[in-house]
Structure 1
Amino acid sequence: MGAGGRRGSRPPGVGIVPALEGAGLIALHLAATPLAGDGRLHWGTVGTEAADALPGDDLVPDPRWAYTLGVDVAAPPAAVWPWIAQIGQGRGGFYSYQSLENLLGCRIVNTTEVLPEHQHPVVGDEIRLHPEAPPMRVAVVDPPRALVLVGAPADVGGEQGGGAATWQFVVREAPGGGSRLLTRGRYDYSDDWGSRLAFGRFPLEAIAFVMSRRMMREIARLAEGGA
């Protein structure tokens, strides 16, 4: 068993109940979008975290929309990092609603173990969200503090030079030996339908919120168990 694994624990998000939970939450948040305002864009953040400069911000300097989410982790950054380092389809998964994702053909396997073969991402590595979708690429690696992935609208059929999107993971030390885990997405896109569909705020923001919130809570649980 990999270091920090939980022997016999069930992978996150497996089964009909989590799938129904995830689908229901996404439907609820999509329906509530006209009333939600910007509250989901900074869920879980404290103080100035939502506005703080984070590694990778410069990759999309003028986003058309962005979010920053945060959770407390009762474990040091070194215990959080392994779960972030191995994130991805065909790697450690996304620690979210696995069964729901796989209904869409994502072929995700959420691990409950630290996988040594996926602990050393390097700049330029491809990280897939779906086996048939264009990958994101690793742009920043700074263990145990930051992992930044970047993708471009051109990768999904949008116009060349139509912008970019980032998925940023940042781990900060917190008082008492714990951590703050932040995730941020920044999106720029052109006005053609391909890049708008892939990177526009609706429906992506509601879906990303539901999946990311579950992911961050699971990473916290796994890191705390490993620590």
Structure 2
Amino acid sequence: MAGNTLRKAARLAAVGTLLYAARRYYRNWGTTKEEYRRWLPGDELMYRPSVWSTTGVWIDAPVSAVWPWLLQIGHRSAERIDPEWQRLEPGDVVRLTPKGWLGLRNGLTMTVAQVVDDEAVVLRGRPPGFPWEAVWTFHVEPRWEDRCRLLARTRAQLHHPGDLLLTELAGPITALFMRRTLLTIKRRAQDSLKAAELERAV
């Protein structure tokens, strides 16, 4: 009996060590110290989060080419700018995953809390649409005339001891999800810009 307890404790310690090591890598993926430390719109919704992270990518396109794609967040299959999806307003529900994702009957949804034109989209999650209280924010920042930075920040407030383990286990999945979202917006913005430039050249 004592041997089984020790083995379980060793497994838990190994999982904890692995998660901690991975967390140091993905927690602020692709960002500078200045970027992940500074205040961003939406941070005021959760002053003291239990867990948080910031992810960033460079985009070879101006803010004007990126913003329309950011407004279409939640429409994951969209490969073109649709005027019907360009009206993102506070109170709108954004579906992050399909129904049934990872066994969740309704998937994951968040509500738009704030939209700062050409700058930021702030999403807020609460049960039952989201497993815990969370704020996800997306920020597009100009860098010169033809480039920009796209940042995504997650902040979560946990109220139960078991939630901490759950969020740590979900951390790599969340980080990959956010990274893929940013890279998808990057690809679509750069591709649409190239297509527009080719049309002008013809």
TM-score bucket (shorter structure): 0.7 to 0.9
Change (3 A) 1:138 1:37: closer
Percent identity over paired residues: 32
Aligned equivalents of 1:72 and 1:134: distance in 2?
Answer: 27
Moved more, 123-132 or 136-145: 123-132
1:137 to 105, 108, 111: 111
Amino acid at match of 2:32: V
Q: Give the 4+ runs in structure 1 shifted more than 6 A.
A: none
Aligned equivalents of 1:207 and 1:182: distance in 2?
Answer: 17
Higher RCO, 1 or 2 (CA under 8 Å, sep at least 6)? 1
Aligned equivalents of 1:182 and 1:74: distance in 2?
Answer: 14
Q: How does 1:19-30 map to 2 (within 5 A)?
A: none
Aligned equivalents of 2:79 and 2:33: distance in 1?
Answer: 32
Contact 2:71 2:87 in 1 (8 A): yes
**Residue of structure 2 equivalent to 1:87:** 73
Q: Which has the larger radius of gyration?
A: 2
Superposition RMSD on alpha carbons, in Å? Answer: 2.4
Contact 1:189 1:200 in 2 (8 A): no
Tell me the TM-score normalised to structure 2 length.
0.76
Which runs of 5 or more structure 1 residues have no equivalent in the other structure?
A: 1-29, 94-109
Amino acid at match of 2:189: A
1:115 paired to 2:82: yes
Question: Which structure has more helix as a fraction of its residues?
Answer: 2
Aligned equivalents of 1:186 and 1:47: distance in 2?
Answer: 17
1:202 paired to 2:168: yes
1:214 to 180, 193, 196: 180
Q: How many residues were matched structurally?
A: 171
1:166 paired to 2:144: no
Which runs of 5 or more structure 2 residues have no equivalent in the other structure?
A: 1-15, 100-105, 194-202
SS at match of 1:127: strand
Contact 2:112 2:124 in 1 (8 A): yes
Question: Which structure has more strand as a fraction of its residues?
Answer: 2
SS at match of 1:144: coil
